[in-house]
Amino acid sequence: MKDDPKSRKTDLMEHLKVSILTLRFQPGTDLDEALLSDEFGLSRTPLREVFRQLGGEGYLDLRTNRSARVSEMSHTTLRDFFLAAPMIYGAVLRLAARNATLAQIEDLKTAQLAFKSALRSGSAADRALANNRFHELTGEMSGNVYLLPSFNRLLIDHARIGMTFYRPQTAKMTENLAEASTQHDAIIAAIEANDEAAAAQLAEEHWNLSRDQIELFVMPDALDVPLGLSPLSKPA
């Protein structure tokens, strides 16, 4: 019930997450505590509890004696994104293929149906959020307490960058969206078959599919890092 403070905190949490992921709140935007407090009927203490949780998850930057701010997407953070994304995606899908339960696989199939529906008739925000949910579930399947926080942080920026990917303007971009959906189906099949090698290969292919579009935002040096290889290490 909406009069329940816990429900209002949950509503605020969801509102902020969706607003950040879909760029309704731009990176670096200061949050208006008074406005949010009035809108959701929350006092300062529960409001800041929500901010702390979202800060820990990477949605917000918390600053002493200043308002909370939507996490930045600077040249530095995006360069780190490019270098870390293929390694993290590969590790997550390998572990998902190893550890996924039947219930989690069914949830992933349901998320894929939602993604396909969003591709047919949803907005760019619908598509980005549906894709984000699909990948969130693969992270949960990985079951790794060290890897999951990094993966979830990665997904925040991937969703924000994906707001362009999911607003296709050319035939090639539309073709890429169809291919992304096909790859999701293949990822589900690899996980269901416990095929770690196939899952890791699909992670690389899936990353490469969106990489060109993501590079419209930033073009850091030395992006050609093989999947699973540290940017500082040298190929054998």
Q: pLDDT digits over 151-209, tens only?
A: 999 999 989 887 765 665 566 667 778 899 999 999 999 999 999 999 999 999 998 88
Q: Are residues 84 and 53 in the same domain?
A: no
Q: Are residues 47 and 112 in the same domain?
A: no
Can you tell me the mean pLDDT for 21-35? 94
Q: Are residues 123 and 186 in the same domain?
A: yes
57 token code pair: 């998850």
Q: Are residues 38 and 124 in the same domain?
A: no
Residue whose token pair is 């530095």? 76
Q: Where residue 119 sits, what CATH number does that domain have? A: 1.20.120.530
Bigger pLDDT: 223 vs 141:
141
Q: Are residues 103 and 208 in the same domain?
A: yes
Residue 74 has pLDDT above 90, yes or no: no
**How many domains does the chain divide into?**
2
Q: Are residues 207 and 130 in the same domain?
A: yes
Backbone dihedral angles phi then psi of residue 137, each to the nearest 5 degrees: -65, -35
Band of pLDDT at residue 223, cut at 50, 70 and 90: very low
Q: Are residues 85 and 194 in the same domain?
A: yes
Band of pLDDT at residue 213, cut at 50, 70 and 90: low
Per-residue pLDDT of 82-111, as tens digits, reads 889 999 999 999 999 999 999 999 999 999
Residue 36 has pLDDT above 60, yes or no: yes
* CB 141 within 8 Å of CB 100: yes
2 token code pair: 């909406």
Per-residue pLDDT of 109-163, as tens digits, reads 999 999 999 999 998 899 999 999 999 999 999 999 999 999 999 999 989 887 7
Q: Which residues contact 102 (CB under 8 A, 6 or more apart)?
A: none
Look at residue 212 in the predicted model and tell me its pLDDT: 65
* CB 25 within 8 Å of CB 16: yes
Query: What does DSSP assign to residue 81?
Result: H
Residue type, 109: K
Bigger pLDDT: 137 vs 72:
137
Look at residue 229 in the predicted model and tell me its pLDDT: 42
Look at residue 173 in the predicted model and tell me its pLDDT: 67
Give the Cα separation of 139 and 113 in Å (integer). Answer: 18
Q: Where residue 41 sits, what CATH number does that domain have? A: 1.10.10.10
Q: Are residues 45 and 32 in the same domain?
A: yes
On whether residue 225 sits in a domain, the answer given is no
Band of pLDDT at residue 222, cut at 50, 70 and 90: very low
Give the Cα separation of 91 and 71 in Å (integer). Answer: 25
pTM for the predicted model, two decimal places: 0.84
On whether residue 129 sits in a domain, the answer given is yes
| Exposure of 231 in the CB half-sphere (CA atoms within 13 A) | 14
State which residues form the domain around 117.
75-214
Look at residue 131 in the predicted model and tell me its pLDDT: 94
SS3 category, 236: coil
* CB 86 within 8 Å of CB 231: no
